[in-house]
Structure 1
Amino acid sequence: MGIQHTKLKELAEKYRAGLCTAEELKQINACYNEFETNGYALPPAEEIDRASREAAQFVIGQIKEQQKESFPEQARYNKHSTLVPVRKKISQFVQYAAAAILLIFMGLGAYYYNLKPVKNTAVHVAQNDLGPGSNKAVLTLSNGRQISLNSAQNGNLAQQGGTVVHKTENGLVAYLVNALPGSPLLNNAAANFNTVTTPRGGQYQVILPDGTKAWLNSLSSIHFPVVFTGNERNVKTTGEVYFEVTKDKSKPFRVSSAGQTVTVLGTHFNIMAYRDEPEIITTLLEGSVRIAKDGQSKTLKPGEQAHVDQDIKVVSTDTEDAIAWKNGLTAFTDADLKTIMRKVSRWYDIEVKYQGNNSGRTFTGAISRRSNLSALFKILELNHIQYSLEGNTLIVKQ
């Protein structure tokens, strides 16, 4: 390759820290192009150990698969610079791809710095690999009846007043209001609340009675009326939920979660309010929202994120990173190991324990949510983090 592996490690560190010069970015581009031109060829077998080669090949394969499956209509690149997409739509994917390639560079570079590789655990992984999560959730009706959405047949699941609960062919639940405004059926239905809950390793999509779309990440829930009446549309959530709210200026849409209230008219935003996270994070992609908690309030603009603990702090952010989970990726940018593992544990339905000092290091990358847990193992190996999987418990050693 045109750049020495020791130089690649240095460039990777600077890229992750945002300190690359224009010339260094060109070098990274050239290196990525060379990988693509050579069919993502790696150094000769005698130069790196088997574990590193397999890990690098796996990550490269994930990049190529994600490019084909997630962005089939936009996956066209400028032939002179593969890090510059022809269409803006895939810019975030390219960023993840670059980050994954850089993880490979950093892993390979570590061997050229004479760091000892961790013990190859490939056999152990093959025996204990776990599959990813899937579309699964439980619907609890107002009368307490519970329906497993992943096993329920497509079609109408329940009739509540003037609202029909319908499971579609593509695996989502839609609330279809088929009564006229002012009808007694609607007034009666307004008193009925439903809850959709996802377990560990589950996700689901719901279309609310007003047409608002809600995507639930694992270990999440949404509680809502089967029809919205009056001057407000109020729902409650736990965990992480992404919303695309139907615009209705006469009826503000309000989301309550962990003591925080988000008020919108029509917008796209994501709320992460897991109990095991240190703060509630609300990310705005489109429109405007107002965040309120304990007498404080802040208004977000697109591209901003609110971090709520004792106070409300607003920062600029990469919005696509916040909703990567909805688009099929477990993504992390400058995240410590415990932050990453909290995401992993929810999606793969595992418990995580730690041995040794796991603080200080941060990581950037992405893993397809369709991948088995072994995808994570390979990246851990690349970064010389030891681990073992005992049943459904992942023990991380550092």
Structure 2
Amino acid sequence: MQEQELIALLERYRAGTATEEDLVFLESWYLSDHTAPVEEYGENFLIEDVSIVWNRLNKPVVRWYRWIPYTAAACIALFFLVRTFLFQPADDIRILEVEGALSQSEKLMPEKDGNDVMLTFSDGSSVKLDDEQRGIQMLDNHIYYKDGDGLLNVEKYEYVTVSVPHGGQYQVALSDGSIVILNAASSLRYPVVFKGEERKVELSGEAYFTVAKQPSNVDHGELKPFIVAVGDYQVQVHGTQFNVQGYSPALSTKVSLVTGKVSVHGKGPELEKGVFLVPGHQAHMKGEQVAVRMVDVQHEIAWKNGLFSFEGKKLTEVMDELARWYNVDVEYEGEVPNVSFFGRAHRSEKLIAILHLLKSADITYRLTTYDGQRKSKLVIVNKRKEGK
């Protein structure tokens, strides 16, 4: 590949328009022994030419550049983003020493998508869904699997709740044709059939919505609104695609709009009036406070495509996401290390691969099991002494 072609490929990556073929090339190039590029460009390629290429790209990349040696920065930044993530120590944090055996993490693989997904009905009864299936659909008071196999008649129930475990992901097609993809440790409560002049569902956790447009029963010139209730907030839409993350009332709730238009409502001066979003924007709510910012929505919905995206996330955010996927408890000893991460990794990776990357960030941790080795705990240890 010529230098101009490489520049064009990297620019596509930064713009979010890189194809799967582009990503495969970057990954395979890095994982190779680099002999072909070195022969083509000469021995100084990694030190000189790559830095020239990198400098022609968007400046935000330089935000972490000064923190690692010159040559390593060029190699990792260009060719290791597909499989791993980078880190940026804050100015006030000391590099920590790593300790802890990780042999136990070999057996900690993410659960198979859809494994132990449960359906709970309005009378309190429940049924475990087929492990081999990846989704269900509602049609004429019946529930079918995504592949068309019949499941059961739910005419006597008003509501159904789908619960996805740690390490799972599941798709639900609602009776109006809307599609909901649920992330790990999430649940969705919804009517078997939407009645009245609104379509309302209740979310706990994270989900990606593709909402079908539906005419109002009263006025065919109006569309029946679709409402997602998540904690103390409501997201109202007509026909659009968006992501909602609301795992805990104690944490912030995020609504990221991909296409269309939504409004977010809740308590407080701004939220009571409704905060409107346009594509590429995210509403970040906590209590009665709300902030709207521009985001790269592809990072926000990376989970839907089988990826972890750690762009600009703090250690606690990264650990929360890993805990939900690998089903581990995370605890901190001492002050939480002030570290930010960048890049992405495949959710099919073993936990040990992700944990080994913490070593590169000089983060101290240990992994233990308890409750008869049925549960695992990841402890992040900060050994920094006050005044150091």
TM-score range, shorter chain: 0.5 to 0.7
Deviations 1:105-162 (A, max 9, x none): 999xxxxxxx89745x6xx3234320113323111123332111144889999x99x4
Measured at CA, do residues 385 and 255 of structure 1 come closer, stay the same or move farther in structure 2, by a change above 3 Å? same
Q: Which residue of 1 aligns with 2:119?
A: 139
Cross-structure match for 1:185:
none
From 188, 191, 198, the equivalent of 2:164 is 198
Matched, 1:380 2:358: yes
Is 1:288 aligned to 2:261, yes or no? yes
Contact 1:297 1:312 in 2 (8 A): no
Distance 1:343 1:151 in 2: 23
2:245 paired residue number: 272
**C-alpha deviation, 1:253, in angstroms:** 0.7
Q: CA separation in 1, counterparts of 2:188 and 2:26? A: 47
Give 1:221 deviation, angstroms. 0.9
Tell me, what secondary structure is at the counterpart of 1:339?
A: helix
The 1-side partners of 2:168 and 2:262 are apart by 28
Q: Which runs of 5+ in 1 are unaligned?
A: 1-19, 21-31, 44-79, 85-94, 108-114, 178-187
Deviation at 1:330, TM superposition (A): 1.6
Contact 1:259 1:293 in 2 (8 A): yes
2:325 counterpart SS class: helix
TM superposition shift of 1:232? 1.1
Most deviating of 386-395 and 274-283 = 274-283
- Tell me the TM-score normalised to structure 2 length: 0.66
Aligned residues of 1:242 and 1:323 also touching (Cα < 8 A) = yes
**Pairing 1:250-329 to 2, within 5 Å after superposition:** 250=216, 251-275=224-248, 278-294=251-267, 295-309=272-286, 310-329=288-307
- Once the two structures are TM-superposed, the CA of residue 270 in structure 1 deviates from its matched residue by 0.6
1:237 maps to which residue?
Answer: 203
CA displacement at 1:230 relative to structure 2: 2.1
Deviation for aligned residue 1:38: 7.3
- For residue 396 of structure 1, report the CA deviation from its aligned partner: 1.4
> Cα offset for 1:198?
1.4
In the superposition, the TM-score normalised over structure 1's length comes to 0.65
Match of residue 193 from structure 2: 227
Contact 1:96 1:366 in 2 (8 A): no
One-letter identity of the residue aligned with 1:387: Y
SS at match of 2:319: helix
Contact 1:201 1:347 in 2 (8 A): yes
| One-letter identity of the residue aligned with 1:289 | V
Q: Secondary structure at the match of 2:348?
A: coil
1 CA distance for matches of 2:26 and 2:134? 48
Q: Percent identity?
A: 31
The corresponding residue for 1:362 is: 340
1:345 to 318, 323, 344: 323
- The letter of the residue matching 1:268 is Q
| 1:182-238 Cα deviation digits (max 9, x unpaired) | xxxxxx76x611000112222211111111110111121111111112221111111
**Contact 1:271–1:283 (CA<8 Å) still a contact in 2?**
yes
> How many residues of Structure 1 are paired with residues of Structure 2 in the alignment?
298
Q: What SS does structure 2 have at the residue aligned with 1:262? A: strand
Assess if the C-alpha contact under 8 Å between 2:186 and 2:204 holds in 1.
yes
Unaligned ranges ≥5, structure 2: 1-13, 15-23, 36-52, 58-76, 90-94, 217-223, 370-375, 383-388
Kept in 2, the 8 Å contact 1:290–1:298? The answer is: yes
Residues 170 and 241 of structure 1: is their aligned pair in 2 closer, same or farther, counting only changes over 3 Å?
farther
1:333 aligned counterpart, secondary structure = coil
Determine which structure has greater relative contact order: mean sequence separation of CA pairs < 8 Å that are 6+ residues apart, divided by chain length: 2
Question: Per-residue displacement from partner, 1:334-368 (whole Å, max 9, x unpaired)?
Answer: 11111110111111111011123323221112221
In structure 2, C-alpha distance between the alignment counterparts of 1:154 and 1:325, rounded to whole Å: 15
| Alpha-carbon shift at residue 100 of structure 1 (Å) | 5.2
